[in-house]
Amino acid sequence: MTMTRRQLVASIPAAALAAGLPRGALAEEGRKVVTFWFGQANSDGQAALRNDLVEAFNASQDKYLLQLEVKGAAVNNLLKVALVAGNGPDIVQTAGPAYLTAIANAGQVLPLDDFAEKYKWKDRFLAPLLNTSVYGGKLYALPRDYESMHLFYNKELFKQHGWKLPTNRQEMEEVADAALAKGIIPFGAGNADWKGVNEWLMTVFFNNVAGPDNVRKALAGELPWTAPPFVEAVELSKAWYNKGYFGKNYFSLTIEQSFLQVVNAKAAMAFSGTWSFGTKSYGMSKPDTVMDVMPTPTLGSAFTGSLVHLACGATLSIAKTSQNAEGAAAVFEFMLTRKFYETMNRDWPGKWALPVKDLPPDMLKGIGYPLFEKTIANLHEAFSRGQYGFTTWTFWPGATNSYLIEGIEQVWLNKITPDAYLTRMQTLFSQEAKEGKVPPLPPRTA
C-alpha cells in the first residue's frame, strides 16, 4: 500500500533491482519482458525481492524476463498517471482492495477469470481473501498476502509484575492502569512517519468494541456509522488517548521507535499487525525474545473471546494495456510455488503470506521463527472458518477511509465530537456506496 501501512522503511532508488539484472543479454535471447513496480522495501526486503522473486523466476524458465523496480512511497501516484497514459507496468500492485476499486471500475486492469480457470486459482485461494477482488462478478486481482492486527506484548514485563493476559476491556484497562502507575506506557504507539497508524487503532476499536457483525452490517449499508456501537468505539479510543494509554509522544514517535518501547520494556503492549514480524530490529525471531503475541481480546459486549481482522495487504493485477499478460500470469503462478512461498517467508516474514489452500502455514515450520509460524497458522484457521473482523484498509472505500484516518485525530484532540466524526463518516460512506466504491464483502465462511 503505497508506503505500506505496515512498513516504514527506506526506499531504494527506482530501477535499483532492475539495474542488477542482465536485461540486455537476456532480451537478446528472445524473452518477453514483464515489468513490475513495487512500493517500498527495507534492506531485507530488497534482497528477498532480488533473490527469491526476480532471479528465481528468471532462472525457472526461458520465455519471460521479470524486471522489478522499487518506486518507493510515490508508487501509487506514479501508477495512477501511468495507467491513465497507458504506459504503466504489466503487473499492477495496489495497497489492498480499497485501492483496487477505483482502477477496476475505470477499466485499467484486466479481468483475470480466464487465467484463474487455467491455473485453478479460484480453487486454490481462500475464498474470503480472493472475493475481496471480485467486482461485477469478475476477478480483477489476486491477494498477495493476508494479515491482521494483533496484541503484541512484552512477556517478561508481564511476568515481572504478575500481570495476566487480558481477555476483555476491564482486564485490559487493569493492566494499562497498573503499567501507568509504574511509569510504563500501556501501549507503544506512534504515527510520526505514517499517519495510517490511526486506522490500525481504529480497526481494533471498531471491531473489538462494536463487534464484527455490526461492522459488517455498516459496510453492507444495513446500519449507519452513527449507531451507538460505533459511538462507543470512538469514545473509548478518545478516553484511552486522553488517559495517556498511548504515551505522551504519539505524534512524534515513528512506528519502529514506538514498537521498540515494548521490546525494551518501556511500554507493555502494542496494537500492531503481522507485518511487524518482518522488522528484524524487533528481535522477535530470536529464541530468547521477550515478545509474544495474541489475537486482540473483546473490548465491548458485542462478542466474547478474541478476534483477528481480515486484511489483504496488497493485490496483484495485470494492466489492461499490458503487452505480455501471459508473462504476468506466469509470474503470479511462480509466486504460488512451494519454493517461493518458503524462501520469501523465510527471508521477509509477513510480507508475502499467500492465502492459498495448498500452501498451508505448517509448511513454514522449521524456518526458525516460532512466533510468526504460530500466528500465521492461527490466521489461516480463523479465515478458513470465517471468523474475523474487517480492516479499514481492505473494506472501507477510499474517501471514507481517508477521513477515518484524519478525523480521528480531531476527536482525540477535542476539536470535534465523536458524533460529528461519525456523522461525517456516514455522509462520505453513503456517497461512495451510491457510486459503487465500497469494496466487496466476502462470505462469512470459506
User: What is the spatial distance between Cα 289 and Cα 393, in angstroms, rounded to a whole number?
Assistant: 30
Which grid coordinates belong to 60? Answer: 525457472
What mean pLDDT do residues 353-359 have?
A: 79
The per-residue pLDDT for range 174-230, each reduced to its tens digit, is 999 999 999 999 999 999 988 989 999 999 999 999 999 999 999 999 999 999 999
Please name which of 237, 185, 246 lies closest in space to residue 392, comparing C-alpha atoms. 237
Output b/e per residue, 236-267; b: 16+ Cβ within 10 A: bbbebbeeebbbeebeebebbebbbbbbeebb
In whole angstroms, give the CA distance from residue 158 to residue 165: 8
Query: Model confidence over 110-162: pLDDT tens digits?
Result: 999 999 999 999 999 988 889 888 888 899 999 998 889 999 999 999 999 99
Q: What is the pLDDT of residues 373-415, one digit of tens each?
A: 889 888 888 887 778 999 998 999 989 999 999 999 999 999 9
- Separation between Cα atoms, residue 297 and residue 175, nearest integer Å: 13
Contact 66, 58 (CB under 8 A): yes
Tell me the C-alpha to C-alpha distance, in Å, between residue 266 and each of 107, 185, 257: 50, 6, 11
* Nine cell digits for residue 437: 466504491
pTM value is 0.82
Rounded Cα distance between 62 and 32, Å, is: 9
pLDDT tens-digit readout, 302-331: 999 999 998 888 899 999 999 999 999 999
Q: How confident is the model at residue 363 (pLDDT cuts 50, 70, 90)?
A: low
pLDDT surpasses 60 at 12: no
CB contact at 8 A, 310 and 163: no
Mean pLDDT of the chain: 88
User: In Å, how far are 75, 80, 273, 392, 396 from 99, measured between CA atoms?
Assistant: 12, 11, 19, 11, 10
The confidence score (pLDDT) of residue 445 equals: 55
3-state SS assignment for residue 344: helix
Residue 9, pLDDT above cutoff 60? no
- What sign for the dihedral angle of Cα 396, 400, 403, 408? negative
Question: What sign does the CA torsion over 274, 280, 284, 285 have?
Answer: positive
- Distance, in Å, from the CA atom of 129 to the CA atom of 443, rounded to the nearest integer, reads 10
Cα dihedral sign for 29, 33, 37, 41?
Answer: negative
Distance of CA 252 to the CA centre of its chain: 23
- What CA–CA distance (Å, rounded) separates 261 from 279? 14
Segment 345-355 shows an average pLDDT of 83
Cell numbers of 186, please? 500501556
Per-residue pLDDT reduced to its tens digit, 255-302: 999 999 999 999 999 999 998 988 888 999 888 999 999 999 999 999
